[in-house]
Structures are given as C-alpha cells and as structure tokens.
Structure 1
Amino acid sequence: MPTPKAIKPLTTEEEEYWKILENELIDGKGSAYLSQNDFAQLCQKNALNCSTATARRKLLRLQEVGRISMERQGKGNNPYKITWLEYSHYKKVDETKQIAPLTGIVPLDSPLYLKREADEICIQNLKLGASREGSRPFIRIRAPKQMGKSSLLRRIQYFLEKQQNHIVGFVDLGGDEYFYTDVFNDLDTLLYQFTSALIKTFSDALQRRGLNDLKNLPDLKEHWNANLTPQLNCANYLHDHIFLPIKQPKTLLIDGIDEVLGKPTQDPFLKFLRSWNEKRMKVVSQAPIIWPSIVIAYSTEPYSILGIRGSVLQNVGTVVELKEFSQEQIVDLSTKYNLSTPLTKPEVEFLMKLTGGHPALINQALYQISQGMTFTQLENKATQTDGPFWDYLSRASELLENNKNLFHCFQKILKGDNCNDDLAKYQLTKAGLLKIDEDAVKVIELYQKYFNNGHI
C-alpha cells in the first residue's frame, strides 16, 4: 500500500491505539518489529479490548493515514517492520522539550507513569466483578504517601469509562470543595456533603455520556430527615435517586479516605462503608444489586501518628498494596527522561539502594540527572536542605520527633539492634520508613545517611 503524502487526523478511538504503538516506536527509536498478534497483546495490556483482527485493521489504518509504514518480514504471522514516518520530527521536538519535575497526579498522557502489579489486580477485579450477579467488588488501595494511589485511581476511571462503558463517580475527601476541614468533626455534616458530592459526580459522569438519567432530582435539604440517622438519609437518597436510575454498570472511586482517620467521624463513616460491602453490594434478597462497584484509596502514614494497630476496614473487600519500583522499572522509567546516556547497572543499583525504589524519590532522582546532575552530586546533596529529597526527609523527621516509641524503635534498627516493639515496626512500615522482607528489617540508604548524621 503506498504511503500517503500527508498525515490525516485520527478519531479519538484511533488515537488510543496510536498512543500504544507510538510508545513502542519511541522505545525502538522510530521502528519496531511486531506481528498483528503482538500488537493485539500490547493493546490488551493497556486495557484496550483488541483481537488480532482488530489489531490488523488498526495497523492498516495507521498506515493509510500516513503515521507508519509496514514491511512484512516473511509469511504468516511473522512480524512487520513498522516504521514511524514522522519520528525524526518527533525526536527534534522531544529533544528540545523541557522536562518538568513530576509532582502530584501523573497526567494520563504522561510517559512517566509505570504500570505495576496493582494496576492489573484492580482492572481484573473490576472486569470480573461487573459480570458477577451475586456481588460487586470493593477494592482498597493503600500505601504510604506519594506512591501513586491517586494516579492509579485516575487510570482506573479512564479504563472504566473508555473501555467498559461504566458510569464512574469520583470523589476526593482530601481535595473536593465539599470536604472542608470541619466537615470531618460531625457525621451528619460529613454524610450530607458526601451525598452532595456523589450527586454532582454521577450527574457529571452521565452528562459526559450525553445521558440525562438523573433529571428532576429532589432537593437534598428537603430529603434530609432529622428523625433519621445520617447513614439512612445518605443511603436512602443514593439508592432511590442516584444508583437506581442508572441502569448502566457503575463504579464509585473515593480518594483520600485517610482524611477521616483520627477524626470523630472515623468509626461511624468506615462502618457505614463496611455496611455497603456487606449488605448492599451482595445478593441478600431476590432484588438485583443496584449499588456500584467501589474502589477507595488511602495513605497508611497516619497509622503511626494515630497509633492505629491494624488495618482500617479489616476484612472488607480486596486489598491492593502499591509496591516500589523494581530495578527493571527504574531502567524503563529512565528512558522517558531523555538522559544523555542509558543508565548502567551500577547506577541502577545505586538508585535502588538509595531510595528503595520509592516512585516519587526515583522520579526526583531521574529528573535531577536529566538536568545534568552527576551521580556523585546526587549522593552528596541527597540529605541536604537544598537537595531533591528534603521534603521527604523533613516529613520523616517530624514524624519521629512526635512519637517517642517510633523514635526509639527506629534508632535501634539504625544501630543494627533488634526492636521488639512489633507495633512500632508495623507503624514505621506503614509510614514508609521501614521495609520488612522475609523477616529482615531494612532501612533505605537515604534515611540511613540522614538520620545517622545527627538528625535523630
């Protein structure tokens, strides 16, 4: 098929397939050897439903519009040599592109997001759960701060809306305007605001799909009955006026659950969510389940501050722990930072030893290296107040200063002694200061250097 002289625009759906192929071509510096089946599997790994026949059509379409050329390497399902026709232009633009330090949620179109095992666990549970008649999945994503919880939630939302045709509601207890500071001190106020937030997010989700299932909603103030508990007011309104009218598959994502920890509303609010999982998301009568699938995310760092001894929402749903990056993932991520030379094995091992693979620390390190900092300079500045990791170090220092039990336990471990306080070790682990691996207690080198240098 002749190559077109001009590149034609793609549809939104075609852009999603192109983005997957584009990343593969970037890794291959403008070309890649892929069969139709290879491309289908790549798409499936990126949450696109794609058969081999669909992959073939998409590749031919990308060739037709002038994005790629394809040269067959033999017969049958042998790979094509796929060449990005505009790679030289991309490379010039990419090489001059200013790389910004990564902060907050990783944008959906950013190459700096790395999929981990947690992504696959969440997606598979939600796909299977939506097809089950007897129950709906309840997933709890937990990890210390800046491990990627919110970024994962946003990708779950994108996958469910774009690939599964779900109506997805998203609320953030730590960021939405509904959840001001004092709201967590009173259960009635919290659940009223929570209900308001769900009305807004599901209404918006339907409007994005051009649907109007939630028209003529009754006024929440008039519905809120002072003679009923806040739990009943909230659940009754959501059941009758939000979840029941939505006939499509639906999912509720809740970020920032840790905002309620340590507040007067902690226990009743978490018990309320537990009751949803036990009574409303499972078949307990002949009536169909109208409650959505639910995914919540929360930081485990408050465990140490609040003296939490076990998991919040114990035995509720599926727990998904976000893990640190592996050495292979560090290498993969480093290719996205336009480093002048690829990382050597000793350099990767140095980064892993220094940071333990913590995603935010690794991204900070790679950003500094991409801006010209040498590994020697990175090591020297690692614990300095103007260094790239100071925010993390100062937060860890403040945590230990405010908790004597954690302070003494951490001090013993740094000296190579045993700490017999299992609760303190548990809380230090949840705060990200320790890692317990096959009964071995480990502290990353960054914290060792900082706290052994007179900061504890």
Structure 2
Amino acid sequence: MQTNTLNFEQALAIVNQAVFTNAGRYLTDVETTIFHGAWLHQTYEEMAANTEYTVNYLQRTVGHKFWKLLSEALGEEVSKSNFRTALERKSVTLTPTKLPSDLSLEFPEGPVELDSTFYLERPPIELDCCQAILQPGALIRIKASRQMGKTSLLNRILNSAIQAGYKTVNLNLLLADRGVLKSLDQFLRWFCKCASRELQLPNKLADYWDEELFTSNTNCTNYFEDYLLSEIDTPVVLGLDEVDRIFPHPEIAQDFFGLLRVLHEYAKLKDSIWKKLRLVIVHSTDVYIPLKVNQSPFNVGLPIELPEFTPKQVQDLAERYGLNWETNTGEAYLADLMAMVGGHPYLVQLAIYHLRRQNLTLEQLLENAPTDLGIYREHLQGHWGTIQEYPQLATAFKQVVNTNGSVQLESMLQFKLLSIGLVKQQQNGVIPSCQLYRQYFQNKFRDRA
C-alpha cells in the first residue's frame, strides 16, 4: 500500500491548481467541504452533520459533479474512495504555484488606469488613433454607448500625445452646469477658461473678448488663435468627452459644433497656426440635432466606433485576472457568460472580477444576474431609475424587450436608448443589447403591470 505523504493543505493546493488549470476556477466552499470530508474518510452523512448542507445536496447535487470535475482536472477517473493515490501521482509532476494576489485586482469602475493590466486593446483602434493624432489639424470622433471604454481610449490618446511632447486639454462637458448652458456666450467663456487652466496659462478673457464688435464664436476663435496657440510652441490636443451633454441645447450645440468644424478646416490652410490644434470628440450616440453637412464635425476626421469584446478578447481578459478559459470547460464558461452579457466590456469585466475573487460560481452568477440579487443590481437599478423618469422612454423600451426581432422607434427615443446602451441597432430598428437587459426588464415591466 502506498504511503500517504501529503497533508490536507498540500492536497487542497494541488486540487485547486489542477482545477484552475483545467476549468479556470478554484473549488467552491461546498466542494472544499466535500473534499475535506473525503480526506477525513467521512461519509456524506457525517459531512452533513457538521455543515448546513443536506446529505442529498452534498452527495447527489454537488458530489457527482465534483468528482467528475476532479477526474477531468487530474486526467484520470477518481472517486471518493481512490482520489488520494491520484493526488500522490499528481504531486510528483505538479508543484503548486502561489495563487495570484487579490490585492492586485481592480474593481471595474470608471476609466481604466493607464498602467492597468486589465485594459484590453481593440486593434487596430488604439494604433490608428495614436498615429492620427500626430497629424496636423487631426480630428478623431469616438462613438459608443456608456461604459464601453470611450474615456479610457481618450485618456490613452492624450497620453500618447503627451509622450510626443504635445500639450493636452482633457475636458468633460458633463462639468458644464445649467448656468454655463444658459447661452452660447456663457458656454464659450467657460470653455476657454477651462482650456486656459488645463494648459496652465492665465485666464485672459478680459483682453480678448469683445462683445461689442464680435460674435461669441469669433471671440472664442480669437482667444485660441491670438493667445492659447500663440503662447504654446507645441501642438495642442483638445479632448472633449461627453459632448452629448449639449445635444439637448441646440442653441449652443449648432454654433459650437459649427465652430469646431471651422477650426478643423482652418488647419488645412497653408502655414496656419490651427495646424497645431488636434481634436478628439467623444459621444455616446448619433447626433440628433440638425447640422448642415459643411458645418458638422461629425462627418469629417477619423471615425471610431468602439465594438464589444470578441470571445478571444474576453478569454484574454480572464487570463489577465488569473483564470484559464482556454480549456474545454473554460470555453463553456466563456460561452455561457457571453450568452448573458455579450461582449459588453463593463459587464464582462465585472463578472470576471467576481469569479476571480471566488465570491460565487458562474452558475450562481448567471442565475442571479437578471435580478436585484445579482452582481449587476446597481447597474440595472440605475438604468431602471433612468427610464422611469421618462414614461415615453419606458414604454418604448418595454416594446423592445417584449418583441422578438428588431423594433423601429421614434428617432429621439431610439437615440436616447442607444446612448444609454440598453439597445443596439439591428437592420432598421433596435434590439436589447444583451439577454441580461431583456430578462431583467421583462420581469420589471411585468411586476409593475
């Protein structure tokens, strides 16, 4: 009879590493309970007596699947009665490695830090943008729904410009409050003040703003041309995030976007100082305000529309979190997760984060995902609160989630739902962005009826 040289802690480490390598996860609490009981030669009745689990749950619901999982991980058929010898053989060829520290994990929230391991590039987007911004008078337009990675991409474009020796202005238009949005003049003054501060230059609006002789657009143009661009020897990249903020204010939006188009056209003039200015415009949906073709910045420059992650990219992200999803079992996990949330960057990353922390199994995650008990509850409740504020929007979205196939909506309602990210375009209409939204909101609308 072979002498047992492993203690329980060593055996558990070997099992966890083998299961992780094969299935991309570690043992759950109940699986660890079964393994520990089996190690102590306990019957399922004895295991149940010392835990909150029933005999039937341990033996039939979990136990059968656990021994199958362990057999696949160890590469040979094992059971409650013979697993020890298999572990002894495995210990000869497998040295347990230190599990990655959870201290390095980042909770998925807001833009991804520049030096983060968890930022996934979507080739060739990043390279195209970083090359384009080096061109005189460049204009880049980034479009995607919320939490798709627009700001993270903008930050990387601006960082690449800084590495090239450029000055940058990173301005989120959500900072423009109602007072700023009272008039075009108020808005452009605020815009110029923000640019001055970002460029670390004194505010000199009083010297360049002449309300008696010039329009607000002309004053803004003069402020940039005669002061900001003249004071700086290097190119300047102006990043405008969340420009959707001014879409509901057509009296500002039409003139401001027309101004951006004019400044971009100025850069085409020979020896123009405007060649130093490069623009990055970030927005969540198509522009639904009426803009003349030659007065819009949304039909020129480099258009970038951020796609969802592909299965390979989700697999890559899981690997960065320390999960191996390249096995057959891992690929099944990948397919199940994407069937629920698609390739939505935030939804995918939040799931992988929780799976890596071993808070719950994928089965538990998916079962509770479209409910107020799951990991997406705050995200979903936020969307529910948003559409409840607009009855027409709620009615339109109810039609979408309860319809098989695409639905054509009134243009403004469709724009808003696309901007929020609850729907995506299909043919001439829209469908729910993922099954998570369809299932959750079907239940919410049904409960409210």
User: How far is 1:110 from its partner?
Assistant: 0.9
TM superposition shift of 1:371: 2.0
The Cα offsets for residues 177-230 of structure 1, whole Å up to 9 and x where unpaired, read as: xx3442122221211111111112123xxxxxxxxxx6xx67322432221222
Task: Quickly say closer, same or farther: Cα 1:182–1:288, change in 2 above 3 A.
Answer: closer
* Contact 2:142 2:306 (C-alpha < 8 Å) held by counterparts: yes
1:156 alignment partner in structure 2: 157
The alpha-carbon distance between structure 1 residues 107 and 123, as it changes in their structure 2 partners (threshold 3 A), is same
Q: Deviations over 1:356-403 (max 9, x none)?
A: 211111111111111211111111221222422123323433454425
CA distance in 1: counterparts of 2:289 and 2:357, whole angstroms: 41
Shift of 1:286: 5.7
Deviates more, 1:423-432 or 1:246-255: 423-432
1:337 partnered with 2:321: yes
Which among 215, 222, 232 is matched to residue 246 of structure 1?
232
Whole-angstrom CA distance in 2 between matches of 1:418 and 1:93:
46
The structure-2 alpha-carbon separation of the partners of 1:266 and 1:96, relative to structure 1 and needing over 3 Å to count, comes to: closer
> How many residues were matched structurally?
338
Instruction: Give yes or no for the alignment of 1:201 onto 2:198.
Output: yes
> Which of the residues 251, 255, 258 maps onto 2:244?
258
Determine the C-alpha separation between the residues in 1 that align with 2:418 and 2:342.
13
Contact 2:170 2:240 survives alignment (8 Å) = yes
Matching residue of 2:130 = 123
CA contact (8 A) 1:239 1:291 kept: no
For 1:276 and 1:299, locate their aligned partners in 2 and report how far apart those are by CA, in whole Å: 23
Q: What pairs up with 1:309-348 in 2 under 5 angstroms?
A: 313-339=297-323, 344-348=330-334
**Alpha-carbon offset, residue 298 of structure 1:** 1.9
CA distance in 1, matches of 2:183, 2:416: 27
Does the 8 A contact of 2:406 with 2:429 survive in 1? no
> One-letter code of the match for 1:111?
T
Q: TM-score when scaled to structure 1?
A: 0.66
Residues 360 and 156 of structure 1: CA distance in aligned 2, closer, same or farther (over 3 Å): same
Paired residue secondary structure (2:169): strand
1:446 match: 436
Cross-structure match for 1:383:
370
Deviation at 1:425, TM superposition (A): 5.1
Alpha-carbon contact 2:141-2:303 (below 8 Å) kept: yes
After superposition, the C-alpha distances for 1:322-348 in whole angstroms (9 at most, x for unaligned) are 111111010111112234876711111
Q: Deviations over 1:130-189 (max 9, x none)?
A: 4xxxxx111111111111111111111111211x222222222224xxx34421222212
Contact kept? 1:250, 1:292, Cα under 8 Å: yes
Q: CA deviation at 1:100?
A: 3.6
Contact in 2 for aligned 1:172/1:254 (Cα 8 Å)? yes
Give the superposition deviation at 1:288.
5.2
Distance verdict in 2 for CA 1:309–1:404, change over 3 Å: farther
Residue 13 of structure 2 corresponds to which residue in structure 1?
none
Asked if the contact 1:354–1:445 (Cα under 8 Å) also holds between the matched residues in 2, the reply is yes
Match of 1:223 among 198, 208, 221: 208
User: Do the aligned residues in 2 keep the contact of 1:243 with 1:290 (CA within 8 Å)?
Assistant: no
Tell me which amino acid in the other structure corresponds to 1:165: G
Larger Rg: 1 or 2? 2
Kept in 2, the 8 Å contact 1:409–1:419? The answer is no
In structure 2, the CA distance between the partners of 1:405 and 1:440, relative to structure 1 (3 Å rule), is closer
Q: For 1:286-365, what aligned pairs fall within 5 Å after superposition? A: 287=272, 289-300=274-285, 313-339=297-323, 344-365=330-351
Contact 2:319–2:325 (Cα < 8 Å) also in 1: no
Q: Secondary structure at the match of 2:238?
A: strand
Is the partner of 1:111 in helix, strand or coil? Answer: coil
Are the aligned partners of 1:166 and 1:249 in contact in 2 as well (CA < 8 Å)?
yes
Distance 1:147 1:119 in 2: 14
407-416 vs 365-374, which moves further: 407-416
Preserved CA contact (<8 Å) 1:125 1:137: yes
The CA distance in 1 between the partners of 2:333 and 2:401, in whole Å, is: 27
Q: Measure the CA separation in 2 of the matches of 1:440 and 1:190.
A: 35
Q: Determine whether 1:186 maps to 2:180.
A: no
Instruction: Tell me, yes or no, if the aligned pair for 2:181 and 2:252 is still in contact at 8 Å.
Output: yes
CA contact (8 A) 1:167 1:251 kept: yes
Say whether the 8 Å CA contact 1:406–1:428 is kept in structure 2: no
| Residues in 2 aligned to 1:410 and 1:313: alpha-carbon distance in whole angstroms | 34
**Secondary structure, in 3 states, of the residue corresponding to 1:113?**
coil
Ranges in structure 2 where 5+ consecutive residues have no aligned partner: 1-96
Structure 2 CA distance, aligned partners of 1:222 and 1:271?
24
Point out the more displaced range, 190-199 or 221-230: 221-230
CA distance in 2, matches of 1:414, 1:96: 40
SS at match of 1:338: coil
Amino acid at match of 1:357: G
Separation (CA, whole Å) in 2 of partners of 1:408 and 1:97? 43
Residues 401 and 442 in structure 2, CA contact (< 8 A), matched pair in contact too: no
Q: Report if aligned partners of 1:149, 1:297 keep a CA contact under 8 Å in 2.
A: yes
Displacement after TM superposition at 1:407 (Å): 3.0
2:169 matches 1:169 = yes
Q: 1:381 to 1:321 in 2, by over 3 A?
A: same
- Give me the CA root mean square deviation: 3.0
Letter in 2 for 1:221: A
**1:235: how far off?**
1.2
